[in-house]
Amino acid sequence: MTDSPPASQPHKRLRSPLGIRDLEAAMKHSAALEEKIQNKTAQIGVIGLGYVGLPLISAFTNAGFRCIGYDVDQNKVDELAAGRSYIKHVGSERVADWIKRDVLEPTSDMSRLGEADVLMICVPTPLTDSRDPDLKYVELTTAAIAKTLRPGQLVILESTTYPTTTRDVMVPLLQNNSSGLKCGEDYFVAYSPEREDPGNPDFTAAGIPKVVGGYDGISGELAVKLYSHAIIQVIPVASAEIAEACKILENTYRAVNIALVNELKTLFDRMGIDIWEVVDAAKTKPFGFQAFYPGPGLGGHCIPIDPFYLSWLARRYGMSTRFIELAGEVNSRMPRYVISQLAEFLNQVGKPLKGTKICLLGMAYKKDVDDPRESPSFELLELLLERGVELTYNDPHIPRLPKMRHHDNPDMSSTELTAEFLASQDCVLIATAHSAYDYEFIVKHSRMVLDTRNATKEVADGREKIFKA
């Protein structure tokens, strides 16, 4: 991976002035692209057809643009071409409509990247085993773009990353492999962080304000004009670095506040105080407080990852982010805390963990979605199996355990929650509070319920069976 500049090296200027001839060329290429954007003949290429890419396609097709969807996973391409979706909140009927109207053409052929006028990169940005940023997907995608890059194209990175990635990682790869084309003159580059809230019908991709920062002024203006056609509100900022830092701030803010509540939870548990009631009481204050809730760990692509990106970047500049690193440590240890609480509660009824029958409810990282990325449920699953538990799971949105980058999942399918099945389990562990669950039914027929999400708060009968962790 390309390194960020060390602390002793001053950062590059954010605005590299163009000469008169360079400016004329830049204006020529930008004017041609701007005209295509204005009359909606610009083809939008979305690279990475997942939880970010498909909602983007929805926003731009709704705005009257035609999209080319690129993905190296041929299975995804085939599913979309057949009019089928693999993401719950982007339904198959919507995908089938795109195909029928010929506003989406999915392909795995990366030699066709030059056909799009705008390329939006929506690929994963995970962590390495040592919790350093892993930008291999961004780098591979950028290198593929460079092979077909042509004058007048706009390349936008949407993947979550650390500040300086666009300028110091992407642009050099484009410059070194694009036959002499110059960024900001022949082609244009910007960063606009994805903002997705899967499962929340109140916030679609088109309905969430978009922050946009360019590699240079012309690039930023083009990106703003593009997004303005499809997104409810566009917020231009002075540089790609500011847009990148904005995304890191948003998610680190959430991670730190969740860590605070998780740490208070462990203290209040020991004191016999219900953290959920404490938060509910505190949020009645109409100013100066925002409610965050505890859980079995952090999930999703952003919140568990972004703080470590920022900590890594700080070390590159000779600094430490102790507060942020501590928050990461607190959140990372929550799955083990849940297991320790489970062992303690089982011990009270004379049962060891080993050989105990446990059903894990919910494998998705949040309620009512089919998104398993970084879900703490998978760590809970591994920890339980390591301790010899007879484990089953149920998730109405994840019928079969998927393959994961950092987890060696067993071949396991979701088990139906019948009265007989629940009664046969020693404990039901609620890890994700899906709305589809009938918690009255679950508590009624279970011997013991360990609730990590306060999902059973409205259950009146059988509360003696419920433990919170």
Element (H, E) at 214: strand 210-214
The residue from 67, 302, 359, 427 that is catalytic is 302
Q: What angle do CA 87, 92, 94 make, to 5 degrees?
A: 105
Longest dimension (CA), the chain: 82
- Give 340's contacts (C-beta < 8 A, 6+ positions apart): none
Going 48 to 50 to 55 to 58, the CA torsion angle's sign is positive
135-147 core/surface letters (b: 16 or more CB in 10 A; e: else) = bebbbebbebbbe
CA-to-CA dists, residue 220 to 195, 205, 313, angstroms: 18, 20, 24
Phi, psi dihedrals of residue 115, rounded to the nearest 5°:
-75, -25
- 50: tokens are 């997942």
271-303 core/surface letters (b: 16 or more CB in 10 A; e: else) = eeeebbeebeeeeeeeeeeeebebbbbbbbbbb
Active site residue 122: no
- 138: tokens are 């961004």
Task: List, edge to edge, every strand of the sheet that includes 210-214.
Answer: 104-107, 66-70, 43-47, 118-121, 154-157, 188-191, 210-214, 234-237
Residue 323 burial (CB count, 10 A) = 11
CA-to-CA dists, residue 455 to 166, 249, 254, 256, angstroms: 41, 29, 21, 23
- 62: tokens are 């709704």
What is the spatial distance between Cα 186 and Cα 177, in angstroms, rounded to a whole number?
14
Side chain identity at residue 292, one-letter code: F
What is the spatial distance between Cα 291 and Cα 184, in angstroms, rounded to a whole number?
43
Summary count for the chain: helices (H), strands (E): 16, 13
- Give 13's contacts (C-beta < 8 A, 6+ positions apart): none
DSSP 8-state assignment for residue 287: S
Query: Annotated active-site positions, please?
Result: 302
